[in-house]
Structure 1
Amino acid sequence: MNARVGALFGKRPQMLAGNNLRALAGPILICMILGMMILPLPPFLLDLLFTFNIALSVMVLLVSMYTMKPLDFAAFPSVLLFSTLLRLSLNVASTRIVLLEGHTGPDAAGQVIESFGHFLVGGNFAVGIVVFVILMIINFMVITKGAGRIAEVSARFTLDAMPGKQMAIDADLNAGLINEDQARKRRLQVSQEAEFYGSMDGASKFVRGDAIAGLIIMVINIIGGLIVGVVQHDMSFAAAGKNYTLLTIGDGLVAQIPSLVISTAAGVIVSRVATDEDIGTQLTGQLFTNPRVLMITGSILVLMGLIPNMPHFAFLLLGGGAIQLSRMMKKREEAKQASSALVDVAPAAAAPVESNEASWDDVTLIDALGLEVGYRLIPLVDKNADGELLKRIKSIRKKFAQEIGFLPPVIHIRDNLELRPNAYRIALKGVEVGVGEAFPGQWLAINPGQVTAAIPGTPTQDPAFGLPAVWIDTNLREQAQVYGYTVVDSSTVVATHLNHLVVQHAAELLGRQEVQALITRTGKDAPSLVEDLVPKTLSLTTLQKVLQNLLEEGVPIRDMRTILESLSEHAVKLTDAHDLTAAVRLALGRAITQQWYPGNGDMQVMGLDSGLERVLSQALSTSANPGLEPGLAHTLLTETQKAIMRQQNAGLPPVLLVQHALRAMLARFLRRSLPQLKVLSYAEVPDTRTIKVANLIGG
Structure 2
Amino acid sequence: MKLPPWLKGLANRGNSALAAPILIILLLAMMILPLPAFMLDVFFSFNIALSVIVLLTSLYTVKPLDFMAFPAILLVSTMLRLSLNVASTRVVLTQGHTGGAAAGKVIEAFGHFLIGGNYTVGIVVFVILTIINFTVVTKGAGRIAEVGARFALDAMPGKQMAIDADLNAGLIGEQEARRRRSEVAQEAEFYGAMDGASKYVRGDAVAGIMVTLINVIGGLIVGMVQHDMAFGDAIKNYTLLAIGDGLVAQIPSLIISVAAGMVVSRVASDEDIGKQLVTQLFAKPEVLYITGGILGGMGLIPGMPNLVFLLLGSLLGGAAYLLEKRGPKLKAAQEAAAAAAAATQAAAAAPAENEEASWQDVLQVDTLGLEVGYRLIPLVDRTQSGELLKRIKGIRKKFAQEVGFLAPPVHIRDNLELKPVAYRITLKGVEVGSGEAINGQLLAINPGMASGVLPGTPTTDPAFGLPATWIDAGLRDQAQGMGYTVVDAGTVIATHLNHIINSHASELLGRMEVQALIDHMAKDAPKLVEDLVPKVVALSTLQKVLQNLLAEGVHIRDMRTIIETVSEHAPITQDPTELTSLVRVALGRAIVQQLFPGTNELSVMTLDNRLERLLMQALGTGNDGVGIEPGLADTIAQQAANAAAQQEAMGLTPVLLVPGPLRTLLSRFLRRALPQLKVLSHSEIPETKTIRVTSLVGAPM
TM-score by length of 2: 0.63
Alpha carbons of 1:545 and 1:18: their partners in 2 closer, same or farther (altered >3 Å)?
A: farther
- Pick from 685, 692, 695: which aligns with 1:694? 692
Partner of 2:664: 664
Counterpart of 1:293 in 2: which secondary structure? coil
Equivalent positions of 1:473-488 (< 5 A) are: 486-488=483-485
Contact residue 214 and residue 252 of structure 1 kept, 8 A? yes
**Mapped partners of 2:241, 2:505: distance in 1:** 88
Task: Specify the code of the residue in structure 2 equivalent to 1:693.
Answer: I
Contact residue 369 and residue 427 of structure 1 kept, 8 A? yes
Write the deviation string for residues 572-600 of structure 1: whole angstroms up to 9, x where unpaired. Answer: 99877656755765676564343224469
Contact residue 522 and residue 561 of structure 1 kept, 8 A? no
- Pick from 275, 283, 291: which aligns with 1:293? 283
**Mapped partners of 2:561, 2:268: distance in 1:** 57
* Residue 90 of structure 1 pairs with residue 84 of structure 2: yes
Contact residue 291 and residue 329 of structure 1 kept, 8 A? no
**Mapped partners of 2:177, 2:594: distance in 1:** 38
* Residue 402 of structure 1 pairs with residue 415 of structure 2: no
Task: Specify the code of the residue in structure 2 equivalent to 1:268.
Answer: M
Write the deviation string for residues 504-560 of structure 1: whole angstroms up to 9, x where unpaired. Answer: 75259x46xx84885798699579999999999999998886665444312346678
Write the deviation string for residues 181-232 of structure 1: whole angstroms up to 9, x where unpaired. Answer: x999999999987776566556434434433543554566567667867886
Task: Specify the code of the residue in structure 2 equivalent to 1:552.
Answer: A
Equivalent positions of 1:184-333 (< 5 A) are: 200-201=194-195, 203-215=197-209, 217-218=211-212, 221=215, 247-248=241-242, 250-273=244-267, 277=270, 281-283=271-273, 286-289=276-279, 293-296=283-286, 310=311, 322=323, 326-333=327-334
Partner of 1:7: none
Task: Specify the code of the residue in structure 1 equivalent to 2:283.
Answer: V
**Mapped partners of 1:398, 1:622: distance in 2:** 49
Task: Specify the code of the residue in structure 2 equivalent to 1:252.
Answer: G
Between the aligned residues of both structures, percent identity stands at 49
Task: Specify the code of the residue in structure 2 equivalent to 1:629.
Answer: I
Contact residue 220 and residue 231 of structure 2 kept, 8 A? yes
Write the deviation string for residues 372-423 of structure 1: whole angstroms up to 9, x where unpaired. Answer: 9xxxxx9x9999xxxxxx96898588437623552586799999999xx9x9
**Offset of residue 85 of structure 1:** 3.3
Write the deviation string for residues 143-170 of structure 1: whole angstroms up to 9, x where unpaired. Answer: 2232234345556767xx75x9679989
**Offset of residue 42 of structure 1:** 1.9
**Offset of residue 131 of structure 1:** 6.4
**Mapped partners of 1:531, 1:119: distance in 2:** 103
Contact residue 222 and residue 248 of structure 1 kept, 8 A? yes
Equivalent positions of 1:47-66 (< 5 A) are: 47-58=41-52, 60-61=54-55, 64=58
What is the aligned length? 637
**Mapped partners of 1:123, 1:473: distance in 2:** 66
Equivalent positions of 1:542-561 (< 5 A) are: 549-556=548-555
Task: Specify the code of the residue in structure 1 equivalent to 2:676.
Answer: Q
Counterpart of 1:263 in 2: which secondary structure? helix
**Mapped partners of 1:394, 1:477: distance in 2:** 23
**Mapped partners of 1:242, 1:494: distance in 2:** 76
Task: Specify the code of the residue in structure 1 equivalent to 2:668.
Answer: R
Alpha carbons of 1:238 and 1:393: their partners in 2 closer, same or farther (altered >3 Å)?
A: closer
Structure 2: tracts of 5 or more residues without a match: 170-175, 300-306, 347-360, 380-385
**Mapped partners of 1:286, 1:488: distance in 2:** 59
Write the deviation string for residues 18-65 of structure 1: whole angstroms up to 9, x where unpaired. Answer: 789989877765654444334321234324433443454355446655
Alpha carbons of 1:567 and 1:295: their partners in 2 closer, same or farther (altered >3 Å)?
A: farther
Task: Specify the code of the residue in structure 1 equivalent to 2:264.
Answer: V
Contact residue 297 and residue 322 of structure 1 kept, 8 A? no
Equivalent positions of 1:524-603 (< 5 A) are: 549-556=548-555, 578=577, 591-598=590-597, 601=600
Partner of 2:654: 654
**Is 54-63 or 559-568 further displaced after alignment?**
559-568
**Mapped partners of 2:94, 2:576: distance in 1:** 103
**Mapped partners of 1:471, 1:128: distance in 2:** 63
Alpha carbons of 1:609 and 1:415: their partners in 2 closer, same or farther (altered >3 Å)?
A: same
Alpha carbons of 1:532 and 1:108: their partners in 2 closer, same or farther (altered >3 Å)?
A: farther
* Residue 109 of structure 1 pairs with residue 103 of structure 2: yes
**Mapped partners of 2:391, 2:41: distance in 1:** 65
Counterpart of 2:626 in 1: which secondary structure? coil
**Mapped partners of 2:75, 2:582: distance in 1:** 77
Partner of 1:42: 36
Counterpart of 2:484 in 1: which secondary structure? strand
**Mapped partners of 2:392, 2:5: distance in 1:** 49
Alpha carbons of 1:274 and 1:586: their partners in 2 closer, same or farther (altered >3 Å)?
A: farther
**Mapped partners of 1:71, 1:652: distance in 2:** 65
**Offset of residue 259 of structure 1:** 0.8
Alpha carbons of 1:266 and 1:394: their partners in 2 closer, same or farther (altered >3 Å)?
A: same
Counterpart of 2:311 in 1: which secondary structure? coil
Counterpart of 1:261 in 2: which secondary structure? helix
Alpha carbons of 1:671 and 1:213: their partners in 2 closer, same or farther (altered >3 Å)?
A: closer
Alpha carbons of 1:53 and 1:291: their partners in 2 closer, same or farther (altered >3 Å)?
A: closer
TM-score by length of 1: 0.63
**Is 641-650 or 55-64 further displaced after alignment?**
641-650
Task: Specify the code of the residue in structure 2 equivalent to 1:694.
Answer: R
**Is 283-292 or 88-97 further displaced after alignment?**
283-292
**Mapped partners of 1:525, 1:282: distance in 2:** 64
**Offset of residue 267 of structure 1:** 1.0
Alpha carbons of 1:523 and 1:32: their partners in 2 closer, same or farther (altered >3 Å)?
A: farther
Task: Specify the code of the residue in structure 2 equivalent to 1:283.
Answer: I
